[in-house]
């Protein structure tokens, strides 16, 4: 399957099997997040693997959107490592952290899909609460989580998954 076919068919999974994700596959997913392009190649993305019963219980404390996945990744950035654009008139004190972490998360999501691991992107949480519950250092900023695992027998895309606006809605040539 080529990349565009995979991107078209990939959907946000909400029905996970309890089987654990093998370490070898998790390592490939994490490596995909390490290799991504980041602003000035500063590489501020940071990943936290949540798979122990204690870590998953904490994740369930901070978001109701866990879908009983056997594995979750918390994707953050290091505020001390980001590229900054302090003189941007539109975005004062802009930093690349959220952008860099999002590129890493998306790349990991597609690597997981290629390996047969389904995922769902989660942002239904309060970042300060996540920082407190996981006792993250002040310079580590949570961006998103995703639940991951093998699909259960109930797995299926949501009815609106395949509804896409035409390309013309997204593209303007200047």
**Which of 82, 103, 122, 125 lies closest to 33 in space, CA to CA?**
103
In this prediction, residue 154 carries a pLDDT of 93
DSSP H helix total and E strand total for the chain: 5, 6
Enter the pTM of the model. 0.94
Residue 76's CATH number: 3.40.109.10
Q: How many CB atoms lie within 10 A of CB 110?
A: 17
The model's pLDDT over 39-69, given as tens digits with 9 standing for 90+, comes to: 999 999 999 999 999 999 999 999 999 999 9
Q: In whole angstroms, what separates CA 127 from the centre of its chain?
A: 14
Parent domain of 145: 3-151
Number of domains in the chain: 1
The pLDDT tens digits for 116-162 are 999 999 999 999 999 999 999 999 999 999 999 999 999 999 888 88
Is 158 inside any structural domain? no
């Amino acid at each position: 399957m080529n990349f565009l076919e995979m991107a078209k068919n990939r959907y946000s999974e909400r029905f996970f099997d309890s089987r654990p994700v093998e370490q070898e596959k998790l390592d490939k997913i994490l490596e995909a997040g390490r290799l991504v392009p980041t602003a000035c190649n500063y590489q501020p993305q940071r990943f936290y693997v949540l798979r122990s019963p204690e870590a998953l219980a904490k994740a369930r404390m901070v978001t109701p959107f866990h879908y009983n996945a056997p594995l979750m990744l918390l994707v953050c950035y290091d505020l001390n490592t980001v590229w900054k654009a302090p003189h941007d008139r539109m975005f004062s004190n802009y930093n690349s952290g959220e952008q860099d972490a999002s590129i890493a998360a998306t790349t990991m999501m597609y690597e997981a899909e290629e390996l047969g691991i389904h995922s769902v992107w989660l942002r239904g949480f309060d970042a300060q609460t996540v920082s407190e519950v996981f006792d993250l250092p002040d310079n580590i900023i949570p961006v998103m989580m995703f639940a991951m695992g093998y699909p259960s027998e109930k797995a299926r895309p949501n009815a609106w998954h395949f509804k896409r606006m035409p390309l013309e809605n997204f593209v303007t040539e200047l």
